[in-house]
Amino acid sequence: MFIDEAVIRVKAGDGGRGCCAFERSRQNPRGRPSGGNGGRGGSVVVRASCQLHTLQDCSYHRHYEAERGVHGRGSNWTGANGDDVTIQVPLGTVVQELPGGRVLCDCVRDGEEHVAAKGGRGGKGNQALMSQANRYPQSAQPGQKGEMRTLRLTLKVLADVGLVGRPNAGKSTFLTRISRARPAIADYPFTTKEPHLGIATFPGTYESIVVADIPGLIEDSHKGRGLGIRFLRHIERTRILAVMVECTSEDPQADADMLLGELRAYSPLLAEKPMVFLLTKTDLEPDVTPPQGWLGISSVSGLGVSEALAALRRAYASLRDTTDTATAGDG
């Protein structure tokens, strides 16, 4: 099951309280302060993992609470710190605080960690509170409360290329042709109900790109029609778009403009991404002529697939070179 949203509640551990104690002896009958400090409460940590692909675990386990710190004791005994709780999330997960939607972190690199709720500091014992002005403190500090938050986790698929088109435009078949991904394929609309990722390799090289098959878009998807905007956010993470239109379309350019209009209505930045336009299923209409600047492909026969991959490779290389140049200029 592909779950790309979850709301969870996290509670960091409270700090342990400090101890008020005195160590008396025959030489020091008044007693020297010897109360230890309390331990720090455990924090709740979000860790990005490339081993996960959905937020299914977080959708079932909605409450996370870290361990509280241990109280201090006499003889300057400091309480142990509470254990942290780590929440594993897929790459591309955005963590927001509710209410308000403030973004706490964006998990895009494998293994990176972010503290979602910080544990409370342990209270000081009376030994730590001793000073020239107060050589025999009669009290100790309580531990601080750990942070408590409600978080919304939103997954945005990370991919180099996003396949965009109407339902049954041939996106899933193209993905199976260029990668080992095996999404469901059938001759009815909305067969793909969740994004699928595949790794496409370029023949004769060690290069590869991650391709995402995005569920089909229809007119007014940004208003909630069809599968609505639920999967449009996944296109935000892609670097290049492959716009796919069936060759049986009466006006492929109009269909492409409709798709771009839906992307633009959701976010103007989506329509500014580099694009490769593909006319699909050309085996059904062998005499069809793709619009200028388009490539005709048949994922079933393989016709034009290598040319499409080469076009995606050029677009990806051009984008990478532009990014590297901009980075060098910033330095």
Per-residue pLDDT at 323: 54
pLDDT above 60: residue 185: no
Domain ranges of the chain: 5-155, 161-330
**pLDDT classification of 193: cutoffs 50, 70, 90:** low
Q: What is the pLDDT of residue 230?
A: 63
pLDDT tens digits along 271-323: 888 999 999 999 988 888 899 999 999 999 999 999 999 999 888 888 766 65
pLDDT top residue among 41 and 30: 41
Percent of the chain with pLDDT over 90: 49
Asked if 117 and 148 count as a contact pair (C-beta separation under 8 A), the reply is yes
- 5-155: CATH topology is Spo0b-associated Gtp-binding Protein; Chain: A, (2.70.210)
Task: Write the pLDDT tens digit of every residue in 161-174.
Answer: 999 988 888 888 89
Q: Kindly report the CA angle at 124 between 121 and 130, in degrees rounded to 5?
A: 155
The answer to whether domain 161-330 has CATH 3.40.50.300 is yes
Average pLDDT over residues 104-126: 94
| Mean pLDDT within 114-120 | 96
Handedness of CA 132, 133, 138, 144 (dihedral sign): negative
pTM over 0.85: no
11-15, 80-84, 310-314, range with the lowest pLDDT? 310-314
Q: Are strands 113-117 and 148-155 parallel, antiparallel or unpaired?
A: unpaired
Average pLDDT over residues 254-277: 89
Lowest mean pLDDT among 63-77, 84-98, 134-148, 307-321: 307-321
